[in-house]
Amino acid sequence: MNLYFDANATEKPRPQAREAMLEATTFIGNPASIHKAGREARRLLERARTLLAESFDVIEDQVVFTSGGTEANALALHAFSHDRRILMTATEHDSVRKAARAASVIPVMPSGEVSLEDLETMLRKGGPALVCVMAANNETGVINPLPEIAALCQTHGAYLHVDAVQYAARHAMTLRGLTSVAISGHKAGGLKGAGALVLSSDMPVKAMMPGGGQERGRRGGTPALPGIASMAAALRVGQKQDWSQIAAWRDEIERVVQSCGALVVGEAAAARLANTSCLILPEMSGQAQLIALDLAGCCVSTGSACSSGKVTRSHVLEAMGLGHLAGHAIRVSLPWDVTKEDVAHFCTAYRQMASTRKKGVTA
C-alpha cells in the first residue's frame, strides 16, 4: 500500500481538473491571435477567469494569471512595494522571504498566529507599508486572523497582500479588506504551472515580465491554457468541498501520535487547515521519520517542498519558539480523497516507527 500524505506540496489531481485540462488541449490557437482558433482559445481562457472571479467575488479584470503562487507573490511585491516599506510575518513562504530580503519581520505567537500587537506597533512607526501575511501556513496549517489584520492595515493606510496558496484551495474567501491574493493551481488539485494574483480592484499593475502585453499589460507571456483551466475547475471544487470528515481524520491521527509521545505543532491556534498536521517526535529526526514512513508506504514531508534537500531547520517552527525540536518535525497533509483505511494504515505505520525509536533502534 502506498499512501500519499503530502497534499500541501502538491494536491492529487481532481477529476474535474483533468476534464478541464483535456478540453483545453483540444484548442490549438494562441489566445492572443485574432483568427477563429485564437478566439476559441481566448473564450476558454476567459471562462476560466470568470470561474476564478466568481470564486473570490470579484470581476474578471481583477484576475491576473501567472505561472504559480511564487510568481504571484513576486508580482505583488513588485507592484505594491514602491515607496512602501515591507512588513512580513516570520512564517512566510520563501517565495516572499527571498523576494523581500529587506523586509521587517512581524513576530508570531507560540501558536503560529501573527502577533496583532506587534503588527500594530510596527504599522504605527514609519511611513506607508505593504504587509505580507500567509492566510494558512503550509507547514503547520495555522490560519491567521485575516479580518483583524485587514482592519489594522486599513486603519494605518497599509496595503495587505495575502499568500492564500494553501487556504484558497480549501476555503471560500473574499478580498474584503485585502489588496491582493496569490493562488496556485496544483495546490488545489489542478496542473502544476498555473497560478494567479487576484486583485481587490481593477488596479494598474506594473509587469515584471512585460512580454507581448498579455493580461492587459500586467503579465506578459502566452498563458498556459490547460493549467489555467484545470486550476479554475479544481479551486471551485475544493472551496465547495465539505472538509469536516478530513478534519476528523486529522484529529484521529493526532490522538494516535500524541499517545506515542509526539507533539502537535500549532494545536493552540484558533484554527488550522482541516488536512494539515505538523508532528514532532523527540529523539528522532524528521529525516529519519520520513525515511521510516516512506519504507512503510507513507509519503510525508519534513516541511515545505520548496525547501527540500536542505538540512537547515524550519524557519516557521523556529519562529514559533520550538528551537532544536524543529529538526524533529514532519508534516502530514491529507489529500482531498483520503479514506478511513488510509488513515488507519498511517496510524499503524506511525506506531511501529515510534516504538522502534523507544527501543533505541533509530536515533
**DSSP helix/strand/coil, 81:** coil
Rounded to whole angstroms, what are the CA distances from 79 to 174, 218, 256, 327? 20, 9, 46, 36
- 59: alpha, beta or left, given left = phi > 0 and alpha = psi -120 to 50? beta
User: For residues 188 and 231, is the Cβ–Cβ distance under 8 A?
Assistant: yes
Cell numbers of 343, please?
488513515
The single-letter DSSP state of residue 272 is: B
**Contact indicator for 121, 89 with CB cutoff of 8 Å:** no
Length of the chain measured in residues: 363
Cα 164 to chain centroid distance, Å, stands at 6
306 is catalytic: yes
Contacts by residues 48-54 (CB-CB < 8 Å, ≥ 24 positions apart): 48/20, 48/228, 48/229, 48/231, 48/232, 49/232, 51/232, 51/233, 51/235, 51/236, 52/183, 52/196, 52/198, 52/231, 52/232, 52/235, 54/236
Per-position DSSP letters for 123-156, written without gaps between them: HHSSS-EEEEEESB-TTT-BBP-HHHHHHHHHHT
With beta carbons less than 8 A apart as the criterion, state whether 201 and 62 touch.
yes
Strands ordered across the beta sheet of 195-199: 63-66, 195-199, 180-184, 159-163, 129-134, 85-89, 104-106
Put the strands of the sheet holding 276-280 in their side by side order: 263-265, 276-280, 329-333
- Catalytic annotation, pick one of 260, 299, 306, 347: 306
Residues with a catalytic annotation lie at 306
